[in-house]
Each structure stands twice: as structure tokens, then as C-alpha cells.
């Protein structure tokens, strides 16, 4: 075991050194926010740093990434504002010059004249005029005219609404705020269209693809994409060889004839955890309803079957709540599972455990309800910008809740770490064969509590590259990294208590799995940051190590087979059939959703063209729900199975399981993936802005595909109904029947 621990420690330490090194480069080489933006011909100051920074706060307050996207990060209905701004700015300048020089439109010119104007445009747009001495940039009068035209266009969209963008009338009416919002949108486009000093590519590595200004994929993105694919194949082969050679070498263990947990003594604190499952079920149901509303906005814009819903619940709010509730209920499920299993781990009930569970339960309700209300108030502009940052809508996907609610949640996680960690530590001190398994469990518990605070590492006026860097520490490392380790160890512990695994095998396998996950997962965080105003090192390391994230997922077929064989080994194991079925589904979606669809968008050459398209939604749904959602559901069922003393009528669980999985497949195959492919082709052949344009998204073909999603959504919703029905019914029974 010593070698296994050395390998684990080395991977974690070296990976964080690399991740933090890139972080320092992000701070040092991020696109500057100029003190002033000045027209070169007249010397007139048209924008200031304050305008841009306050404009960012305004953008956050209206929903931020939930209203279109910036640099490819955000929602899919409205345009990517950066790409849209660049394209409109380029078209305006080209037409203005064509009108002035040739009394024509740009499209009507011959090839030579088009080439001449395009060359002039590229020189004007891509030349970096930032002056480090006075920290200002200069722009041409022609570009200022384009900026003014764009500003008028976007002010109209946000003040008067835009049905096809699902932006309601009156979303933002304050003229000063509209001007500041436009200043921020200009800055994001300036960074994406202006070359880095002494480089032939922009601050965003030439993202987005825009042929009019020769924003095309860089050699670095191409080279590292190829290298990542070679590494993927190499390590799949190596890991497969290692797995086949060693996976049968664990300690032989005969499965007992009877259920080892049949006489399990349950505690008061475990009964206190049960109420979490009722609330979680209600959150799941609400999330699905909000998901249906959010999807419907993509086909009807402002209404829900004719009813003007956007006046009360605009798209930015329904999508915010939909994504945030997903994080809330999945995280709450895993945390509740830790609290439920804690006495089983230590073998005793610790003092004040029931009080702590009840306190966390109340805190959960306050955070959920308070943050949802705050976001609604923020988007409807009832809060000033600073108040919005702390209590309203931060504007960043998956961590939209205000800073106050973040801190409150962080405090709750610290308490959870103490409550679960003390049980694990008590069990470790017994120094039995399960010691190594429990140590890795304790590490994951502490990491879950600690790494949530990475979301607090930026401030109200931090720049977008810095915010995105820390945001992905939270979204990727916290969820996909340490929660995944926690889940792996929890499943191993459950199988250990069922005497399906030996303690030595469970410990060795869990540490090895954590090492493999984190070897790719920690540095792989950077694959979210290829084109976010970050240096080229993010592309090199992100591409290389995100490919390694996929490697262990290719072996999930073996896990599916072994879990299936487990069900047939002893009759008593049928009692745990449905939790095991959910774990089998998790392995399947890990392989398909996280593996196949994840790698579809991981290489830089792919993400360059398809970032923020429906291909991203394919990965998000199949990985977030298919892996983490179904795993959370499996945890709920296994906890209820431990607590319940009656034979289950499995018809509800059977329907829930199959309708959920079939619905998810239909959702992807009939709608999300085909739309994503159409968008990808458009992005590659015409430019990224066209792939996000309403003309494409409201074309007859794409609209038909959007409506077809209803088939998968209805099937999926039926599965949710049966799962919630079963969970609430069984939880109420357990609360009534057990002491």
C-alpha cells in the first residue's frame, strides 16, 4: 500500500503545482482592462475602466451567463455576445468603407476590393493599441462608429426585449446601465479580436471563429489536439493491459449466504437524515418543471403555450433555477448519504449528531429559498449592483447564487466535514483492515469542504479570466474531482459492509481509482479555459490531461459486467437490486456521457468550433444527470433500503429507472445532438456567430428538432414522477415505523 499512497500523493501535489502555475499566468497575462478608450483621430475619451467594470456587474445582475454567453460560456438561446459583437462590428465597418470608397455594399464588391477592405479591417481590429504607460487603448473613428451602432442595437434588445433571444421587454431600462453593459461587451470583443503583444493570435487564442477578421484556429490548438488523441489511445491501451492483468488479484471473498446487514442497528441520527430525502425529491421535481419551462422558451421565446410567462419568470430565471437546483439536490443527496453512513462507519452515535443534522437541514432550506428569491430580485433589478453581488445573482453558470449564500453554504459544509469526519477518524483509529479505505474517505470529505471555498477567491470587480479560473476550480474540481472520489469510496464501503469486497481490496482499488481520476482531473480543469482570455499553457496542459480524464471511463464496461454478475451471485443480493441497477446506469453514462460526449468537446480543435453549442448540452445532461444525478438517486435508494424493514414493491423503481434512462437517450438522440451537429457544421463553415444566430436556431429543421425533444422530456419526467413518488412514500413509512 505504501507505493499506492506515494503514487496518489505525487499525483495530487504535482497536479496542483501545475494548476496553480497556470493560475499565476492567468493573472499576469490576462487581457488588460484599459483606463481609457480614446478615438485616435480626435483624442476623445469614449469609455473608461469604470464603465467596463460596472458594465460587467450590470451583465451579472441581469443573469450573466444565463442570458446568452461570453467567450462561449453560458446559455444557448441568445447569442454569444462576444461573437455577435465582433461580427456585427466587422460587417458595419466593411459596409461603411465600401459605401464611402465605392458607393456599394461590401457583399456586392468584386474579390480584389473585398480583399483590400478585409485587410484594412484586420489591421484596424487586430492591432494591439494598448499602451502600458498610460494604460489606455486607442481606436479608429471607423471602429467607434461601429461600436456606437452596436451599442444602439444591444440597448434596444435589452430595453425593448427580443422574443427569439427569450429576453423580455424591460429587462434593463436604465440608460446609464445600458451604456455600461455595452462597454463591457465591447471589452470582451476587443480581447477576442486583438492580438496579444508580440503574438499572432488574440487574448482568447483567436476564439471565436470569425472569417471576416481571420480569427481561425491556432497551430497550438491543432498540435495539442493531436497530441491529446495520441495520449488517449496510449493510456487506454496501458490501463486496459494493467486492468486485465491485475483486476483478478484481489483477495478472494466468498459471498455470504445471508445479508450481513440484515441485523443492522440504526441510530436516531440516521432517522433524522430521512427528511432530507423528501426535500430532495421535491427539489428534483421542481428542477424538472423548470427545465421544461426553460426548454419551451427556446421554441416560443417569451411565452408558455401563449401565456406571457416571461413577465414573471424570464428565461434567465428559469435556467438559473434549473441549473442551480441540479447542483443543490445532487450535492444534498451525497452530503445526506455521508451523514446517514457516518454511524455505520464509526460503529457509534456521536454527540450532537442529531442537532447538527437538523441544523444543516434548516440551513439547506434557508439557502435554497433565499438564493432563489435573491436571484429573482436581482434579475428584476430590485437590488443595487453590490447588493446583487452578495444577495442576488452573481451571473456565473452553476454558481449564480449571491456571495452571502455561498459563504453560508460554505459554513454548512465545514460543519458537515466535522460531523462526518469525526466518525471516519474514530474508525481509522481502530487500525483494522479498512484503515486505508477510510483514510481516502477522510481525504475526500475534507476536500469537499475545503475546495468549495475556491468559489470565494474572486471579488465583485475581478476580471472575467480570473473569475472563470476560480469558477472551474469549484465546478470541475469540487464536483467532478473530489465528489467523484467520495462517491467511489462510499460505494466501496457499502460493498465492504455487504462482504462483497474485502477491506484490503476495497482500500487498494479506491486509492488507485482516486489516483487515476485526479491524474487527469486536476490539471484537466484547464480544458474549460482554452479560450477564456487565458495563456496558451491552458491549451497545452488542458488538452493533454483532459484526455487522461477519459481513460478510466473507457473501462466502465467491465464495471457494468461485474455489477451485473454480482446480482446473480446470491439470492439475498436481489434485495439491493435497484440500487445496484442505478450504479450500473451510472457506469454506463460515465462511459457514454462523461467519456464519449465529454471527449467530443474536450480537444481544443473541437471546442474551438463547438463551445457553447448544443453539443455542450449533450455532455452536460448525460454527465450531470446521467452520472451524478443517477448516483445520487442510487444513494437515496440504498439508504432507504438499509432503513426500511419491509419488502419493496419494485414496480415504481422499475418504471423510474427505465423511463429515466430511456428519456435521457431520447432527449439526446432526437434533439440535442442533431441540433448540436447542425450548429457545429455552421460554425466550422461560416463562423461561430452564425451557429448561435436566431436565423439558424429558428429555422424549420432546428425548430422541428426542438419540438422532438418533448418526447424525451415527457418520458424522462414520468421517470422522475415515479422516483419521487417511491422516495417520498418509502421515507414517510420509515419515519412512521422505525424508532
The model's pLDDT over 464-499, given as tens digits with 9 standing for 90+, comes to: 999 999 999 998 888 778 888 898 889 888 888 888
**Any domain includes 294:** no
pLDDT digits (tens, 9 = 90+) for 569-610: 778 888 889 998 998 899 899 889 888 998 898 899 999 999
Q: Which of 614, 607, 613 is nearest to 218 (CA)?
A: 607
Q: Is 484 inside any structural domain?
A: no
CA distance 572 to 298: 48
Confidence bin at 260 (pLDDT 50/70/90)? confident
pLDDT, tens digit, 9 for 90 and up, residues 166-182:
999 999 999 999 999 99
Q: How confident is the model at residue 501 (pLDDT cuts 50, 70, 90)?
A: confident
185-200 pLDDT, tens per residue?
A: 999 999 999 999 999 9
The pLDDT of residue 399 is above 70: yes
Q: Is the dihedral of CA 527, 528, 531, 534 positive or negative?
A: negative
**Euclidean distance between CA atoms 380 and 627, whole angstroms:** 34
Q: Is 248 part of any domain? A: no
Cell output for 659: 423511463
457 domain residue, yes or no: no
**What value, to the nearest 5°, has the Cα angle with vertex 418 and ends 417 and 421?**
70
Q: What is the pLDDT of residue 738?
A: 54
Query: What is the mean predicted confidence (pLDDT) over 43-72?
Result: 96
Range of the domain at 375: 314-430
CB 472 within 8 A of CB 457: no
Residue 439: φ, ψ to 5°: -65, -45
Task: Assess whether pLDDT exceeds 70 at residue 739.
Answer: no
Mean pLDDT of 351-364: 95
C-alpha gyration radius of the chain = 27
Set of cell numbers at residue 485:
472520489
pLDDT in tens, 553-580: 666 666 666 767 777 777 888 888 999 8
Cβ partners under 8 Å of residue 129, min gap 6: 40, 137, 138, 139, 194
- Over residues 294-316, the pLDDT tens digits come to 998 888 777 677 777 888 899 99
Domain finish residue from 200, 216, 232: 216
| pLDDT tens, position by position, 421-454 | 999 999 999 988 889 999 999 999 999 999 999 9
Cβ atoms 623, 593 nearer than 8 A: yes
Checking phi first, is residue 612 left (phi over 0); if not, alpha (psi -120 to 50) or beta?
left
Q: What is the dihedral of CA 497, 637, 492, 487, to 10 degrees?
A: -140
What is the pLDDT, as a whole number, of residue 251?
A: 52
Whether 215 and 202 have beta carbons less than 8 Å apart is answered as: yes
CB neighbours of residue 633 within 10 Å: 31
Domain-ending residue, one of 216, 248, 264: 216
Q: What is the pLDDT of residue 550?
A: 77
Q: Are 667 and 621 in contact (CB under 8 A)?
A: yes
> Is pLDDT above 60 for 719?
yes
For 30, the grid coordinates are 490576462
Mean pLDDT in residue range 695-723: 95
Is 175 a member of any domain? yes
* Residues 585, 579: Cα–Cα separation, whole Å: 10
* Coil, strand or helix at 207: coil
Q: In the listed set 406, 430, 454, which residue is the last one of a domain according to the structure?
A: 430
For cell 476495497, what's the residue? 506
Does residue 361 lie in a domain region?
A: yes
> Do 225 and 604 meet the contact criterion of CB atoms below 8 Å apart?
yes
Lowest mean pLDDT among 65-69, 546-550, 715-719: 546-550
pLDDT band at 726 (very low <50, low <70, confident <90, very high): very high
How many domains does one find in the chain? 2
Per the DSSP assignment, residues forming a β-bridge with 139 are 39
Please tell me whether residues 59 and 192 are part of one structural domain. Answer: yes
Helices (H), 30-140: 49-61, 81-102, 111-126
**Gap between the Cα atoms of 393 and 686, Å rounded:** 35
User: What is the signed CA dihedral for 160, 164, 165, 169, rounded to 10 degrees?
Assistant: 20
> What residues have CB less than 8 Å from 234, skipping those under 6 apart?
none
Q: Are 302 and 161 in contact (CB under 8 A)?
A: yes
In angstroms, the CA 63 to CA 397 distance is 9
CB 182 within 8 Å of CB 64? no
Please check whether residues 83 and 208 belong to one and the same domain: yes
Tell me which residue of 372, 380, 393 sits closest to 174, measured CA to CA.
380
Among the listed residues 598, 593, 614, the one whose alpha carbon sits nearest the alpha carbon of residue 671 = 614
Query: If we measure between CA atoms, which residue out of 674, 677, 661, 668 comes closest to residue 719?
Result: 661
At residue 556, the pLDDT reads 63
Q: Distance between CA 332 and CA 326 in Å, rounded? A: 10
Question: Would 124 be classed as within a structural domain?
Answer: yes
**pLDDT at res. 44:** 95
Q: For the residues of 238-264, what is the DSSP string, one character each?
A: HHHHHHHHHTT-SPP-PPPSS-TTTTP
Confirm if 333 and 635 have CB atoms less than 8 A apart: yes
Query: Cβ distance 420 to 438 under 8 Å?
Result: no
Q: Which of 583, 564, 673, 657 is nearest to 621 (CA)?
A: 673
First vs last C-alpha separation in the chain: 41
Contacts of 185 by beta carbon, 8 Å cutoff, 6+ apart: 55, 59, 81, 82, 85, 150, 154
Average pLDDT over every residue of 30-58: 96
Predicted local confidence at residue 567, as pLDDT: 72
- Residue 252 confidence (pLDDT): 46
Residue 152 lies in a domain: yes
Give buried/exposed letters for 365-385 (b at 16+ CB in 10 A, else e): eebbebbbebbbbbbbbebeb
Q: Give the mean model confidence (pLDDT) for residues 618-642.
A: 94
More confident residue, 724 or 554: 724
What is the number of alpha carbons within 13 Å of residue 674 lying toward its C-beta? Answer: 15
Instruction: Give the alpha-carbon dihedral of 593, 599, 600, 602, to 10 degrees.
Output: 130
Q: Which of 126-130, 488-492, 687-691 bottoms out in mean pLDDT, i.e. has the lowest?
A: 488-492
Average pLDDT over residues 323-334: 94
Q: Are residues 193 and 73 in the same domain?
A: yes
Residue-averaged pLDDT of the chain: 92
Amino acid at each position: 500500500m505504501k507505493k499506492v499512497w506515494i503514487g496518489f500523493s505525487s499525483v495530487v501535489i504535482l497536479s496542483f503545482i501545475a494548476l496553480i502555475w497556470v493560475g499565476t499566468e492567468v493573472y499576469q497575462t490576462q487581457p488588460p482592462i484599459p483606463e481609457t478608450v480614446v478615438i485616435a483621430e480626435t483624442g476623445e475619451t469614449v469609455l473608461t475602466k469604470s464603465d467596463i467594470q460596472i458594465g460587467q456587474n450590470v451583465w451579472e445582475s441581469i443573469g450573466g451567463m444565463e442570458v446568452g454567453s461570453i467567450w462561449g460560456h453560458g446559455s444557448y438561446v441568445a447569442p454569444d455576445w462576444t461573437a455577435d459583437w465582433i461580427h456585427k462590428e466587422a460587417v458595419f465597418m466593411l459596409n461603411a468603407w465600401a459605401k464611402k470608397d465605392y458607393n456599394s455594399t461590401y457583399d456586392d464588391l468584386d474579390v480584389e476590393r473585398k480583399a483590400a477592405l478585409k485587410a484594412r479591417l484586420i489591421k484596424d481590429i487586430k492591432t494591439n493599441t494598448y499602451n502600458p504607460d498610460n494604460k489606455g487603448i486607442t481606436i479608429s473613428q471607423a471602429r467607434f462608429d461601429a461600436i456606437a451602432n452596436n451599442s444602439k442595437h444591444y440597448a434596444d434588445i435589452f430595453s425593448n426585449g427580443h422574443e427569439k433571444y427569450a429576453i423580455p421587454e424591460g429587462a434593463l431600462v436604465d440608460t446609464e446601465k445600458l451604456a455600461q453593459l455595452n462597454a463591457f461587451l465591447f471589452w470582451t470583443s476587443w480581447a477576442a479580436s486583438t492580438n496579444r503583444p508580440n503574438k499572432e493570435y488574440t487574448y482568447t487564442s483567436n476564439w471565436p471563429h470569425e472569417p471576416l477578421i481571420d480569427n481561425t484556429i491556432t497551430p497550438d490548438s491543432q498540435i495539442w489536439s493531436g497530441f491529446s488523441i495520441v495520449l488517449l489511445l496510449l493510456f487506454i491501451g496501458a490501463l486496459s493491459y494493467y486492468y486485465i492483468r491485475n483486476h483478478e488479484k484481489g483477495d478472494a471473498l466468498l459471498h455470504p449466504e445471508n445479508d450481513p446487514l440484515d441485523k443492522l442497528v440504526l441510530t436516531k441520527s440516521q432517522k433524522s437524515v430521512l427528511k432530507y430525502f423528501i426535500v430532495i425529491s421535491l427539489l428534483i421535481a421542481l428542477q424538472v418543471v423548470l427545465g421544461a419551462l426553460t426548454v419551451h422558451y427556446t421554441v416560443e421565446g417569451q411565452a408558455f403555450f401563449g401565456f406571457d410567462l416571461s413577465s414573471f419568470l424570464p428565461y434567465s430565471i428559469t435556467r438559473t433555477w434549473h441549473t442551480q437546483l441540479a447542483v443543490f439536490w445532487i450535492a444534498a443527496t451525497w452530503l445526506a448519504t455521508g451523514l446517514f453512513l457516518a454511524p455505520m462507519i464509526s460503529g457509534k452515535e456521536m454527540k450532537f449528531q442529531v442537532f447538527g443534522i437538523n441544523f444543516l437541514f434548516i440551513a439547506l432550506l434557508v439557502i435554497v429559498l433565499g438564493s432563489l428569491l435573491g436571484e429573482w430580485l436581482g434579475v428584476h433589478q430590485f437590488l443595487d449592483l453590490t447588493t446583487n453581488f452578495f444577495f442576488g445573482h452573481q451571473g456565473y453558470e452553476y454558481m449564480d447564487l449571491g456571495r452571502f449564500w455561498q459563504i453560508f453554504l460554505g459554513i454548512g459544509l465545514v460543519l458537515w466535514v466535522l460531523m462526518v469526519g469525526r466518525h471516519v477518524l474514530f474508525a481509522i483509529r481502530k487500525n483494522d483492515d479498512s484503515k486505508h479505505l477510510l483514510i481516502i474517505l477522510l481525504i475526500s470529505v475534507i476536500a469537499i469542504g475545503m475546495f468549495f471555498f475556491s468559489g470565494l477567491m474572486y471579488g465583485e470587480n475581478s476580471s472575467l479570466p480570473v473569475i472563470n479560473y476560480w469558477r472551474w476550480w469549484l465546478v470541475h474540481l469540487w464536483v467532478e474531482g473530489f465528489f467523484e472520489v467520495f462517491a467511489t469510496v462510499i460505494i466501496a464501503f457499502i460493498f465492504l459492509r455487504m462482504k462483497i469486497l474485502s477491506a484490503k481490496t476495497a482500500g487498494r482499488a479506491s486509492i488507485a481509482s482516486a489516483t487515476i481520476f485526479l491524474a487527469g482531473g486536476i490539471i484537466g480543469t484547464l480544458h474549460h479555459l482554452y479560450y477564456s482570455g487565458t495563456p496558451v499553457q491552458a491549451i497545452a496542459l488542458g488538452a493533454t490531461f483532459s484526455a487522461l480524464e477519459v481513460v478510466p471511463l473507457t473501462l466502465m464496461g467491465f464495471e457494468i459486467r461485474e455489477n451485473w454478475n454480482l446480482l446473480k451471485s446470491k439470492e439475498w443480493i436481489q434485495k439491493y437490486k435497484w440500487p445496484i441497477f442505478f450504479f450500473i446506469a451510472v457506469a454506463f453514462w460515465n462511459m457514454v456521457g462523461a467519456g464519449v460526449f465529454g471527449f467530443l468537446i474536450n480537444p481544443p480543435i473541437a471546442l474551438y468550433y463547438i463551445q457553447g453549442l448544443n453539443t455542450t448540452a449533450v455532455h452536460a445532461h448525460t454527465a450531470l444527470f446521467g452520472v451524478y444525478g443517477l448516483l445520487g438517486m442510487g444513494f437515496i435508494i440504498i439508504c432507504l433500503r438499509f432503513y426500511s424493514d419491509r419488502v419493496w414493491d419494485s414496480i415504481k423503481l422499475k418504471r423510474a429507472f427505465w423511463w429515466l434512462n430511456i428519456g435521457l437517450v431520447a432527449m439526446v438522440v432526437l434533439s440535442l445532438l442533431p441540433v448540436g451537429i447542425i450548429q457545429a457544421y455552421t460554425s466550422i463553415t461560416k463562423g461561430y456567430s452564425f451557429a448561435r444566430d436566431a436565423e439558424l436556431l429558428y429555422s424549420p429543421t432546428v425548430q422541428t428538432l426542438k419540438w422532438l425533444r418533448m418526447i424525451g422530456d415527457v418520458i424522462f419526467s414520468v421517470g422522475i414522477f415515479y422516483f419521487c413518488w417511491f422516495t417520498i412514500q418509502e421515507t414517510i413509512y420509515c419515519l412512521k415505523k422505525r424508532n
